[in-house]
Amino acid sequence: MSLYRWRATLPFTILLMFLLAACGSSSTSQASPTPTPTPAAGQALLTKAAQKLNTAKTMHAIFDITIAGPGLNGTVNTEVWNESPGKSRTVVLQSTITQVPTGSITVSDGKQSWQYDPVKKVVYNGPVNSNNSTTGAGLGRDQNQFIMNIVQSVFTHGNATLVSSNASVEGHAAYDVRVESTAPRQSSSTRSNTFNYNGDAYIDKTSMLPLRVKLTIPGLGQVTLDLPTLELNQPLAADLFTYVPPAGVKVLPFPKTTTADTGTITLAEAQQQAGYHLLSIPATQSQYQLQGIDALGAPGNQIFTLNYLKGKTTFAISEGKSLANLPGSGQQVSLRGTKATLTTSSGTMTLTWTEKGLGIQISGQLSNDEIVAIANSLS
């Protein structure tokens, strides 16, 4: 089971996404870091963990995710079963995040995918494309893919430094590997596959599998992903990957929220799906390159994240009605005829405001003046 398939079918149990300062009730204990951090050792540990995930034929896991961010706050606990080459089942056991309701189920038999929304009493259905993901997103799938893109980036693209060989996670002896994103590829044809993040990955010293990932990501917030259960290459029952919609529910096709080649949608597609105008940086400001747009959440309750690149700097503009009038504290800034809140954390600047019923947030390693200038330029 490739790492692509692993992250493409995992649940949104971590942030929007991966991923993200302690979030929730973390119980990681750790001895003092080694005097001299060792980048080569850290990279080797991530490679070993990725190799185990890449080569696994089956996986059974429980994911506990805590998210603390301006757009999403809460916890999601899910159980996941995967079987190579493309079968999967995800059940949301508990959730305090409205975009991912408790009782949500996603199943794929490798050819068809079903996604059950217990709130709307709707099952989304569609074929699986050649990249082993559904042609559309529906409830939560975009969050799943976005977060697991981040996890994939941590284990295969990020810079890593071993800072401690004496960490402990829930009684498991672990390596603490400091991780941070690499410089993004400068390409206007494809979306950057390197997210702007920093944090720690904890790897079990016995199994060499991930126990916990704690990251801070601009545009999403602070995320802790715990894996209390992660079993590879164990037999799985065949009926896990079949699904019959419950009686009385509607069966609808997946709405289009991603493209097969880049995993994102265009601005025109995003606006058509949103049903309202999305603010963006004018094309005349060519120093800012729009890399793609993520549509996160169930249809009608989505957050659209515009991913921009300027030189080697990435930043995100998130927009959605569910982001409107969120409580927050920080420096008050006047812009666009309203008041915005400006905060900074670990070098990341975040500017948040509500305009015409739409919540908007800009987040990235930008200066105070530049982030305000970007906000004023949006049209």
Give me the sign of the Cα torsion angle 262, 106, 58, 204.
positive
pLDDT value at 145 more than 50: no
CA 324 from chain center: how many Å? 21
Q: pLDDT grade, residue 182 (50/70/90)?
A: low
Q: Quote the pLDDT of residue 334.
A: 92
Query: If you average pLDDT over residues 240-246, what whole number do you get?
Result: 93
On whether both 296 and 194 belong to a single domain, the answer is no
5-9, 82-86, 174-178, 299-303: range with lowest mean pLDDT: 5-9
Question: What rounded mean pLDDT belongs to the chain?
Answer: 76
Instruction: Indicate if 196 and 296 belong to the same structural domain.
Output: no
Lookup: tokens for 180: 């941070």
Of 231, 251, 271, at which residue does a domain stop?
251
Among residues 220, 251, 282, the one where a domain terminates is: 251
With 90 as the cut, is the pLDDT of residue 211 above it?
Answer: yes
Same domain, 231 and 322: no
pTM beyond 0.85: the answer is no
Same domain, 73 and 192: yes
User: Does one domain contain both 212 and 226?
Assistant: yes
Q: Is the predicted pLDDT of residue 269 greater than 70, yes or no? A: yes
- C-alpha closest to that of 116 among 273, 229, 269, 247: 247
Query: Does 294 share its domain with 361?
Result: yes
| Residue ending a domain, choose from 197, 222, 251 | 251
**b/e per residue 277-298 (b: at least 16 CB within 10 A):** ebbbbeeeeeebbbbbbbbbbb
CA distances from 75 to 78, 98, 250, 313 (A): 10, 10, 28, 30
- Residue 191 confidence class, pLDDT cut points 50, 70, 90: very low
Q: Are residues 156 and 261 in the same domain?
A: no
Give the separation between CA 351 and CA 18, rounded to whole angstroms.
Answer: 20
Question: Both 169 and 246 in a single domain?
Answer: yes
Residue 54 vs residue 171, higher pLDDT: 171
Q: Could you read off the pLDDT of 328-349 as tens digits, one per residue? A: 667 899 999 999 989 887 678 8
Same domain, residue pair 128 and 206: yes
Q: What is the domain extent for residue 330?
A: 256-377
Do 157 and 293 lie in a common domain?
no
Residues in Cβ contact with 293 at an 8 Å cutoff, skipping those fewer than 6 apart: 264, 265, 266, 267, 269, 270, 304, 305, 306, 307
Q: Kindly report the CATH number assigned to the domain that includes residue 344.
A: 3.30.200.100
Q: What is the mean pLDDT of residues 157-186?
A: 82
Examine the domain organization and report whether 329 and 206 are in the same domain.
Answer: no
Of residues 194 and 371, more confidence is placed in 371
CATH of residue 188's domain is: 2.50.20.10
Total tally of structural domains belonging to the chain: 2
Rg (alpha carbons) of the chain, rounded to whole number: 20
263 and 360 co-located in one domain = yes
Nearest to 153 by CA among 72, 220, 230, 86: 220
**Is the pLDDT confidence value at 190 over 90?**
no
DSSP secondary-structure letter at 83? E
